Amino acid sequence: MKTIREFLGRRSKNPTWRAVLFWLVPALFLGFFFYQPLLALFNLLFSKEWGFSLGTLNFSQVWDPLWFTTYQAFLSTLLTLIIGLPSAWLFARFRFPGKRVLRVLTTLPFILPTVVVAAGFNTLLGPRGWINLGLMALFDLSTPPVTFLNTFGAILTAHVFYNTTIIIRVVSNAWSKQNIRLEHAAKVLGASPWRTFREVTLPLLQPHILAGTLLVFLFNFTSFGVVLMLGGPQFATLEVEIYIQALHLLNLPLAAVLSIVQLVYTLTITLLHNSLTSSKNLSITPRAQTLVERRPNKGVERFAVIILVVVLFSLLVSPLASLAARSFVKLEPSRGERGDIERGLTLQFYRELGVNRRGSLFYVPPIAAIRNSFVFALITIFITLILGLLVAYGLRQSSPINHVLDPLLMLPLGASAITLGLGFIIVFNRPPFSNLNFPILLPIAHSLIALPFIVRTLSPALQSIPNSLRNAARALGASPLRIWYEVDLPLLAPSILVSIIFALTISLGEFGASTFLTRPEYPTMPVAIFRYISQPGALNYGQALAMSTLLMLVCASGILLIERLQTAGKDWF
C-alpha cells in the first residue's frame, strides 16, 4: 500500500500524468459518442458497394460551397464584431436604466432555433411582414416594397442577430474583470484614454476577443437553418450542401467528402487560434480591483450609449417583438376590390395549441415539448459542465498532450449535424440504446456540440487564476478540495454561469441532429415548431408563432433567473 501511495504521489507531480487523468473521461466520451459514429459513417460511405472514387469527383462540387461558406462566415463575423465589441464595452463599463432587461433580450436570439428566427424575420420583413404592410398602407402600394427573404443580406443579418451575444458575453465578462490599477497607472504616466485602451486594455482582452471571434466564425461556418430558410436555394454552404446531398439526392459519398472538408477546415482554424492565444491570458483579480460600472457622465459617452441601445433594440429585439405581436393578430384578405389585409386581435392560435383536430396518434401537447426540451437541456448542462471542467483543468497542465487533444475536442464544431445524426443511427441503433425508453442520445448529441464552447469559456478563466492564491491557501493548511471550493470556484463562478447559458441555448435551439434522434413521443420545441410551419394553412403558421412566443417567454424567464442569481451571489464574484 505504501509503495502504491508513493508511486501515485510521484505521478501526481508530473504534468503529463495529471493531464492524462483529467482528459481520461472526456476523451472516452468523445471517442465513443463522436469519433466512433463518424468513422463508422465514413467507412460505410466509402465501402465498395457505393462504387465511389475520388476520380469521379467534380472539383466545383466541393470548391463552390467551400468558398461561399468561408466568404459568408467572414463577412458575418466581421459585422458581428462591429456590433458586438462596442456592445461589450457598453455592458462592461456603464450602468443605465433597463440594462438587465436589455442583457436578457440580447441573449434570447442565441437561444432560439432557426425555425423561430426565420419566422421572426418573416413577420417583420417578409412579404406580409409588419414593415411591408405599413409601407404598402402608407404609400398606397400594391406590392411589398422591401425584399428581404431569400437574399444574401438576410443571411448576414440573421447571423449577426444570432451571434452578437457571444461577443457581448465573452468580452464584457473579461473586460469587467480587468485590474483597474493598470489603467490608473497608465493615466498617471500621462497616457491618453485611447493609448491606455490600445496598450493596456486591448492586449488583455485580445485572447477573449479571439476566442469569441472563433466561436462566432465557427457558428457562421457551420450554419444550416439560417442559410436554408432565409437564404433560399441559390445559397448553399457546406452544411446545406451536405443536407441536400445526403437526404434529397441520396449522394452519401459526396456528403461524406464535404463533411471531411468541413472537419479539416475546422481543425485548421482551431490550430491557428491555439497558436495565437496559448500564451495570453487575462489576469482576474479580487473584486475590489476590477472595473466599477458607472453612469455615462460625458456628452460623447451618453450619445454612444444611446446609439448602442437603439441599435441593439432595433437589431435584436424588433424581430422577436414582431413575432410575438403577430401571434396575437389574425390577417385575412379583405373582400373589397383592392384586396387589402384586415387585422384583428385573437387568441385562437394559443387556444388551438391544445387541440388535436386531426386526431393524430403522434400529437404531443406543447407543454410536453417544452418539458422535453428543458429536460434534455438540464442533462446537457450536467454533462458539459463536468466534462468541461475536467478538460479545463487538463489544459491547465503544461503537457504536450494538450496540443493533440485540444484540437480534437473542437472537431465536433466542424461536423455537420446531419452527419452526426446519421452516424448515431448507424452505430447506436442496437441494444442497449435501442431498448431505452428515454432518448438519451439526444442530450448526448447536444453535449458534443456544446462542449467545445464550454471549454473555451472555462479554460481562459481557470488559467488566469494566480497560483499564489492556491499556494497561500495550501500554506494555511487547506486541503485540495477546500482550495478548489474556496479559491477556484468563486473565481470560476461567472464563467460557469456563462457556460450554463451556452449549454442551455445550444440544447434548446439545436435542430439538425434533433430531426434524426427525436422520437415522435418526445419532440423538442424546435421540432414541434417545425411540424407546424411545414404544414400548410394560416392556422398552422399561427400556431407555430404562438409556440415560438411561448419558447421565448420560457427562455427569457430562465435567463432572467440566472441574472438574478448572479446579482444575488455577489460574494461569489
Task: Give the tens place of pLDDT for each residue, 300-342.
Answer: 778 888 888 888 888 888 888 888 888 887 765 554 444 455 5
- Residue pair 324/310 in contact (Cβ under 8 Å)? The answer is no
For residue 18, pLDDT beyond 90: no
Average pLDDT over residues 281-306: 65
In a domain, 39, yes or no: no
Quote the CA–CA distance of 491 and 64 in Å, as a whole number.
46
Query: How many residues are there in the chain?
Result: 573
Residue 306: which residues within 8 A CB-CB, separation 6 or more? none
For residue 451, pLDDT beyond 60: yes
In a domain, 44, yes or no: no
The residue assigned the cell 463508422 is: 40
In a domain, 154, yes or no: yes
Type of residue at 352: E
For residue 75, pLDDT beyond 90: yes
- Record the cell numbers describing residue 100, joined without a space: 438587465
Quote the CA–CA distance of 181 and 187 in Å, as a whole number.
10
φ and ψ of 338, to 5 deg: -85, -15
Q: 3-class SS at 10?
A: helix
Angle (CA) 93 466 496, round 5°: 60
pLDDT given at position 270: 65
Quote the CA–CA distance of 256 and 226 in Å, as a whole number.
22
- Record the cell numbers describing residue 250, joined without a space: 441520396
pLDDT given at position 333: 55
Write out the residue range of the structural domain in which residue 172 sits: 54-356+379-572
Quote the CA–CA distance of 119 and 549 in Å, as a whole number.
11
pLDDT given at position 282: 44
**pLDDT: is 158 or 294 the higher one?**
158
User: Which tens digit of pLDDT belongs to each residue from 504-540?
Assistant: 877 887 777 777 777 777 888 888 887 777 776 677 7
How distant, in Å, are the alpha carbons of 116, 127, 153, 325, 437 from that of 123?
11, 8, 17, 9, 38
Q: In 3D, which of 385, 417, 399, 559 has the Cα closest to residue 489?
A: 385
Quote the CA–CA distance of 518 and 449 in Å, as a whole number.
16
For residue 368, pLDDT beyond 50: yes
pLDDT confidence tier of residue 568, bands split at 50, 70 and 90: very low
Type of residue at 154: A
Q: In 3D, which of 310, 308, 256 has the Cα closest to residue 91?
A: 308
In a domain, 16, yes or no: no
For residue 262, pLDDT beyond 90: no
Give helix 525-534 / helix 366-396 axis angle, nearest 10°: 130
- Residue pair 84/166 in contact (Cβ under 8 Å)? The answer is yes
Quote the CA–CA distance of 229 and 299 in Å, as a whole number.
43
| pTM (two decimals) | 0.76
| Lowest-confidence segment of 47-56, 83-92, 257-266, 412-421 by average pLDDT | 47-56
Average pLDDT over residues 46-53: 60
CATH code assigned at 507: 1.10.3720.10
Quote the CA–CA distance of 280 and 541 in Å, as a whole number.
49
Number of domains comprising the chain: 1
pLDDT given at position 19: 81
The residue assigned the cell 414593415 is: 131
- Residue pair 124/137 in contact (Cβ under 8 Å)? The answer is no
Quote the CA–CA distance of 308 and 311 in Å, as a whole number.
5
Count of beta carbons in the 10 Å neighbourhood of residue 298: 8
Type of residue at 545: L
- Residue pair 158/151 in contact (Cβ under 8 Å)? The answer is no
For residue 567, pLDDT beyond 50: no
- Residue pair 366/547 in contact (Cβ under 8 Å)? The answer is yes
In a domain, 47, yes or no: no
Average pLDDT over residues 413-424: 72
In a domain, 438, yes or no: yes
- Residue pair 84/164 in contact (Cβ under 8 Å)? The answer is yes
Q: 3-class SS at 94?
A: strand
- Residue pair 112/552 in contact (Cβ under 8 Å)? The answer is yes
In a domain, 82, yes or no: yes
* Average pLDDT over all residues of the chain: 77
In a domain, 22, yes or no: no
| Lowest-confidence segment of 32-36, 235-239, 257-261, 407-411 by average pLDDT | 407-411
Quote the CA–CA distance of 231 and 158 in Å, as a whole number.
10
Q: In 3D, which of 93, 288, 280 has the Cα closest to residue 204?
A: 280
